[in-house]
Amino acid sequence: MHGLHLTADLHDCRCAARWLVDAQALGAACVDAAESAGLQVVGTLFHAFPATSQGPGGVTATVLLAESHLCVHTWPEQSGVTLDVYVCNFGGDHSSKARAVMDSLEALFMPRHAERHALQRGSIKAEAA
């Protein structure tokens, strides 16, 4: 359970519209961000939502990592994005890799404002004697 859980709520994103509505393009960017940071991708699921009367549908991009997960949800009608990266640090400290993924994706979306949170999760318990 020991790990780092990072979240960010991105507001007023100034990125190209495709990053908010194109599931395959966003998914590929997520995979690239994870792999570039040195994390191991073991599965993916990218889903585009249909348009509504409020505007184009958003995207959910989920990347399953050997170290845990990366999820991105977009709200194009609000120019908003939520990012979620959790890495398990049991076999090694992957915290800097998680931060690199968040930095890469935040740069992609170019928000005017971001709310960031970090949570240290769990602990490594000593083996019973």
Contact 87, 104 (CB under 8 A): no
Q: Interhelix angle for 23-36 vs 95-109, to 10°?
A: 140
Cβ neighbours, 10 Å, residue 59: 25
Find all residues with CB under 8 Å of 101, minimum gap 6, and list them: 33, 34, 37, 39, 70, 85
68 assigned to active site: yes
Q: Which of 30, 68, 79, 94 is catalytic?
A: 68
Q: Which of 13, 30, 79, 88 is catalytic?
A: 88
Q: Which of 15, 69, 73, 104 is catalytic?
A: 73
73 assigned to active site: yes
95 assigned to active site: no
Q: Tell me the two tokens of residue 11.
A: 């507001």
Q: Tell me the two tokens of residue 101.
A: 């993924």
Query: Which residues does the annotation mark as catalytic?
Result: 68, 73, 88
